[in-house]
Amino acid sequence: MMGSQFLDYKVRDLALAEYGRKEIEIAEKEMPGLMALRQKYGQQKPLKGARITGSLHMTIQTAVLIETLVALGADVRWASCNIFSTQDHAAAAIAAAGIPVFAWKGETLEEYWWCTDKALTFPGNKGPHLIVDDGGDATLLIHKGFQAENNASVLNVVASSREEEIILQLLRDTLVSDHGKWHRMVEDLKGVSEETTTGVHRLYQMLEAGTLLIPAINVNDSVTKSKFDNLYGCRESLADGIKRATDVMIAG
């Protein structure tokens, strides 16, 4: 559990941590692969010294992943990749464990991008070595910031949406408060993994344009993702979503 001085987090309600911990313990029983990694490599700490940023749904299952990375020696910071997907009790449990997390259900767009920036910014104004991305937002922010430090005029465009304006303003503020931040991040970055079709599409666009600054792993098209989750997971989610939205049993 965290000490009384640990304040490097922002969640909905830290009082939910006990509930979150109980669900995490249940989830660990259903995630034997990650638990096997802890058992096999926990003493060796192969990720010792690695700074890892996650921009991924802050759920109970993600909490098991986060704590596995920490158990393997990594320094982890986390934010959700969706303003509505965070399970507040999961985020609270991670914060209570002393792991920096910035996520709560129902974030505004301003809060969402603030959380993403906080997850990317390690103590000493350092950046991550590795990014676990979902949707490409963390990767996007770094690339946009890098471009802005090279040529600030790229931030003078007329925003096409409220969200784009928020991103542009965040980058303008960062240019004033810490010019060079994004170049330092790119120097330290070893790579990013991307889970979604949307994020992978962005990566391919940057690759074709010659603007991709870091190695990237396409998780979305891996065998386990494309042949299992994309097929069976989406089918299950569709049925579950209809049931929850209509409050009607499939049988009638």
- Inter-residue contact 118 to 77 (CB < 8 Å): yes
For residue range 30-80, what is the model confidence (pLDDT) as tens digits? 999 999 999 999 999 999 999 999 999 999 999 999 999 999 999 999 999
- Inter-residue contact 168 to 113 (CB < 8 Å): no
> What pLDDT score does 1 carry?
52
- Inter-residue contact 70 to 42 (CB < 8 Å): no
> What pLDDT score does 228 carry?
81
> What pLDDT score does 163 carry?
98
Residue 115 has pLDDT above 80, yes or no: yes
Rounded to whole angstroms, how far apart are CA atoms 78 and 87? 13
Q: Which of 75, 171, 172 is nearest to 117 (CA)?
A: 171
Rounded to whole angstroms, how far apart are CA atoms 44 and 111? 37
- Inter-residue contact 170 to 228 (CB < 8 Å): no
Mean pLDDT of the chain: 95
For residue range 120-177, what is the model confidence (pLDDT) as tens digits? 999 999 999 999 999 999 999 999 999 999 999 999 999 999 999 999 999 999 999 9
What residue spans in the chain does CATH classification 3.40.50.1480 cover? 14-221
Residue 2 has pLDDT above 80, yes or no: no
Strand ranges inside 4-63, DSSP E: 51-55
> What pLDDT score does 3 carry?
52
60 burial class (0-12, 13-18, 19+ CB within 10 angstroms)? buried
For residue range 191-207, what is the model confidence (pLDDT) as tens digits? 999 999 899 999 999 99
Q: How many residues does the chain have?
A: 252
Rounded to whole angstroms, how far apart are CA atoms 188 and 181? 11
- At 28, list the tokens: 């660990």
Residue 4 has pLDDT above 80, yes or no: no
Do the strands 216-218 and 191-194 form a parallel or antiparallel pair, or are they unpaired?
A: parallel
**CATH class of this structure's domain 14-221:** alpha beta
Cα separations in angstroms, 186 against 71, 97, 190: 26, 29, 8
